[in-house]
Amino acid sequence: MITHRSNRVRRRVLAAGAATVALLMVAACGGSESGAEETSHLIGFPALTSGPSSFAGVPLTQGARLAADEINETAFLGEGTTVELQIDDINDDPARAISLYQEYVSDGASGVLCCGASETGALAPLIKEGEVPGVVTSSNRAEAVEVPHVFSSVLLPAAEGGMYDSFVDAIVPDQGYETAVMVVNGDLDPMVADGEVWTAALERNGIEILETISIAAADTNHVGPATEIAAVDPDVVVSSMLGGSTAQLARALRERGFDKRILTSYGASGPTLFETAGHAMEGVTFPTPFAATHPRNEMAKSFVTAYEEEFGEQPDLFAAQGYTAMWLMAHGLKGAGSTDPALVKEALASVEEYETVYGSVTVEEGQSVAHDPGIVLEWEADGSLRELELG
Q: What is the percentage of the chain residues whose pLDDT exceeds 90? A: 73
Pick the CATH number of 163-288+375-387 from 3.40.50.720, 1.20.1540.10, 3.40.50.2300, 3.40.47.10: 3.40.50.2300
Topology alike, domains 2-155+295-357 and 163-288+375-387: yes
The DSSP H or E segment spanning 111 is strand 111-114
Task: Please give the average per-residue pLDDT across 177-183, as a whole number.
Answer: 98
Q: 152 vs 139, which has greater pLDDT?
A: 152
Task: Please give the average per-residue pLDDT across 53-60, as a whole number.
Answer: 88
| Residue-level pLDDT at 3 | 54
**Ramachandran bin of 333, using left for φ above 0, alpha for ψ from -120 to 50, beta for the remaining angles:** alpha
Q: 95 vs 18, which has greater pLDDT?
A: 95
Domain definitions of the chain by residue range = 2-155+295-357, 163-288+375-387
Q: Which residues contact 300 (CB under 8 A, 6 or more apart)?
A: 17, 290, 320, 357, 358
Q: 315 vs 17, which has greater pLDDT?
A: 315
Residues 283-292 pLDDT 10s: 999 999 999 9
Task: Please give the average per-residue pLDDT across 337-350, as a whole number.
Answer: 97
Q: How far is CA 170 from CA 163, 216, 263, 282, in A?
A: 11, 30, 12, 20
| Residue-level pLDDT at 27 | 42
| Residue-level pLDDT at 133 | 97
Residues 100-138 pLDDT 10s: 999 999 999 999 999 876 788 889 999 999 999 999 999
Question: 2-155+295-357 architecture in CATH?
Answer: 3-Layer(aba) Sandwich (3.40)
- For residues 97 and 92, give the distance between their C-alpha atoms in angstroms, rounded to a whole number: 9
Residues 250-284 pLDDT 10s: 999 999 999 999 999 988 887 778 888 999 999 99
| Residue-level pLDDT at 152 | 96
Across the chain, what does the average pLDDT equal? Answer: 89
Q: Which residues contact 231 (CB under 8 A, 6 or more apart)?
A: none
Q: What is the percentage of the chain residues whose pLDDT exceeds 70? A: 91
Task: Please give the average per-residue pLDDT across 74-100, as a whole number.
Answer: 95
| Residue-level pLDDT at 164 | 92
The DSSP H or E segment spanning 44 is strand 39-47
Respond yes or no on whether the N-terminal peptide bond of residue 94 is cis (omega within 30° of 0): no
- For residues 168 and 198, give the distance between their C-alpha atoms in angstroms, rounded to a whole number: 8
- For residues 29 and 336, give the distance between their C-alpha atoms in angstroms, rounded to a whole number: 9
pLDDT at 235 over 80: yes
Residues 6-44 pLDDT 10s: 333 333 334 445 444 444 444 444 444 444 478 999 999
Residues 346-383 pLDDT 10s: 999 999 999 999 998 999 999 999 877 789 999 999 99
| Residue-level pLDDT at 2 | 53
| Residue-level pLDDT at 7 | 37
| Residue-level pLDDT at 370 | 85
- For residues 381 and 36, give the distance between their C-alpha atoms in angstroms, rounded to a whole number: 58
User: By the 8 A CB rule, do 365 and 375 touch?
Assistant: no
* DSSP-derived secondary structure for 17-29: HHHHHHHHHHHHH
Q: Please name the amino acid found at residue 144.
A: A
Residue (of 117, 113, 121, 118) closest to 151 by Cα position: 113
Q: 7 vs 3, which has greater pLDDT?
A: 3
